[in-house]
Structure 1
């Protein structure tokens, strides 16, 4: 029995061997011839080989058909997988867009809660913004997980940071919380100090004598101090209330100075030249006030170091704001109410102080832009912010134009300015509510340092001012109150040499 053909090359070898052994030219048909019988017998395997070759070709065609069917099925499955992925991505994008839109609406509500100030609305809007931010973080992680799956459904080995998104979302809020904690701590210290002063005032007012009776009266007054007594004292002007208002003026002035200085840096100002100009103006103003030659106290070059430029800028702002402070209307008109009817004028000033203390200056000026406070703001803004300064900082004179026409801009810069203006205006109302009114004083450039009346804005090592220090320039004025206490003037000190 012939050997079965295993492959196509084996078939070729067998056919070739048969042709060489039995050439077709010598073959003749004879039924009795053994040779012919042998030939027929030998040629029979060749016939089987041909049949096997045909079977092989048919098998190869079937195999090619199977491969084509497999490839076509694979393409269909890949196409279906691709369509599924596209649908998943479209669904994910729709969720992202919806979350962004919702967050945008929540953020607009958060901004709207600032003006007018609505703490409850702000809290709700803040929660909504945080919730949408977290939802976006979840969607991002969802997208990353889908990207981590290959075309065959196998998960790639991708290094993930599952808590990164949450940290990124929470980090800004943690910073804000820390800042609020610091502010609360400062306010607590201020409240504690005011409570101690209030206790002392109540003790002194409830005690007529001294000695041991004074100590007993003090302890008893502290135990008996009630809410009605606190409200009664807070409802009347007092030197302690004036000191608190002066602290608020300083804080607002520092905030506005920092903003103005940052804008100068962004506008690429020469801060040293600006400080030198402020020092020169301070020296000239001091010389004019005290009637002596300013060259006698002028120091070559700038006396302020680069990181102390804020004090020179704050001095400039404070001098402009407190100009005319001794007059009942900052010399905006010729009113003499404080002289004609002093008692009524004091009551009116304290009533205005109480009414305006809790008001947003932006809202007030939006309703009454031409009131006395509005005129005060316009006058001081035009005195502090020169047109060239505004054009350099903002690239236009839009705010200057609005203020000149009696309007009040709704910009961050002008809002910071209104914070200082309101604090100074409230201090002015309190000053004219007290009887006697506080007397204002200012340290002169080149004067000796007196710790009883002056306070250095620069902190020295050890907490004590070294000997031989004189006033480089005044930063903010001081006040002597009717009860004998002193609100110290803030000064920038330099060495005498």
Structure 2
């Protein structure tokens, strides 16, 4: 269980790092960051409350959390399935013991590997396909063209190649961290169940941690019941032994 927590810690660091790179590129390309954040949030929900939350609460200083929320939502989508729904595999149900062993073996073998080495050797392995799918999901064409001036990286991905750019390298770091967490989750019996805090939900410190300090309210666990979730930043997990890895959330005042 400590291994899973440590691996989730690596996901958190990789998520922050990739978000920081993406935000820096947006600023260099003279994006209207506040407008971009509104667009990201509006795309994630049709609820009017979403736009209201974002419009009034996410200033330039907190844009990184909204962007990280978007990235995590995309990259964790499908986490509860053994192949992220890339195929209809049911091995974990049909041969559970063997599947758990295989997942841990893959985790152990892959842990020390540089992700670019791995996808260079086997570009269309399961991990490679995961990278293709998630890159195209996170970085849409207009975003890529605006940031880099062309769609060259996207063309390479669509052709089944992994770009050797610094940006794609940063993305691979995050993809590898999430893939390792996924392998580890499916090697455990029972596998951890992952959860995400909902917008507008009361803040519960036993299940959530705040990514921001609230003026007059202290940090995460001291925020209390007067705060609600403005938006989720990263998912949490409940492990088989009952312990909780808290979901990270952007909290706002209930009033």
In which range does the TM-score fall when normalised by the shorter chain?
over 0.9
Which of 170, 174, 179 is matched with 1:420 structurally?
Answer: 174
Give deviations 1:452-477, integer Å, cap 9, x for gaps. Answer: 10010002354321541100000000
Which of 311, 326, 336 is matched with 2:90 structurally?
Answer: 336
1:492 equivalenced with 2:250 (yes/no):
yes
Following TM superposition, by how much is the alpha carbon of 1:283 offset from its aligned partner in structure 2, in angstroms? 3.2
Question: Match for residue 242 of structure 1?
Answer: 4
Alignment of 1:44-443 (within 5 A): 239-284=1-46, 294-295=47-48, 298-299=51-52, 301-443=55-197
CA distance in 2, matches of 1:419, 1:390: 19
Task: Give the CA RMSD over aligned residues.
Answer: 1.3
Are the equivalent residues in 2 in contact too, given 1:473–1:491 (CA < 8 A)?
yes
Where does the alignment leave 5 or more consecutive residues of structure 2 unmatched? none
Following TM superposition, by how much is the alpha carbon of 1:279 offset from its aligned partner in structure 2, in angstroms? 1.9
Where does the alignment leave 5 or more consecutive residues of structure 1 unmatched? 1-238, 285-293
Structure 1 residues 485 and 466: CA distance shift in structure 2, 3 A: closer
Are the equivalent residues in 1 in contact too, given 2:38–2:51 (CA < 8 A)?
no
Question: Match for residue 468 of structure 1?
Answer: 226
Are the equivalent residues in 2 in contact too, given 1:275–1:302 (CA < 8 A)?
no
SS at match of 1:299: helix
CA distance in 2, matches of 1:438, 1:393: 37
Following TM superposition, by how much is the alpha carbon of 1:295 offset from its aligned partner in structure 2, in angstroms? 2.9
Following TM superposition, by how much is the alpha carbon of 1:302 offset from its aligned partner in structure 2, in angstroms? 4.0
CA distance in 1, matches of 2:173, 2:93: 30
CA distance in 2, matches of 1:398, 1:282: 27
Give deviations 1:235-275, integer Å, cap 9, x for gaps. Answer: xxxx1111100000000000000000000000000100111
SS at match of 2:153: helix
Give deviations 1:341-394, integer Å, cap 9, x for gaps. Answer: 000000000000000000011011111101000000000000000111011000
1:477 equivalenced with 2:235 (yes/no):
yes
Give deviations 1:116-141, integer Å, cap 9, x for gaps. Answer: xxxxxxxxxxxxxxxxxxxxxxxxxx
CA distance in 1, matches of 2:94, 2:186: 14
SS at match of 1:491: strand
Question: Higher helix share goes to which structure?
Answer: 1
CA distance in 2, matches of 1:307, 1:467: 24
CA distance in 2, matches of 1:348, 1:466: 43
Of the two, which has the highest radius of gyration? 1
Following TM superposition, by how much is the alpha carbon of 1:306 offset from its aligned partner in structure 2, in angstroms? 1.3
Question: Match for residue 444 of structure 1?
Answer: 198
Give deviations 1:277-310, integer Å, cap 9, x for gaps. Answer: 12223333xxxxxxxxx23565273421210100
TM-score, normalisation: structure 1? 0.49
Are the equivalent residues in 1 in contact too, given 2:205–2:224 (CA < 8 A)?
no
Are the equivalent residues in 1 in contact too, given 2:195–2:236 (CA < 8 A)?
yes
CA distance in 1, matches of 2:224, 2:108: 42
CA distance in 2, matches of 1:343, 1:379: 28
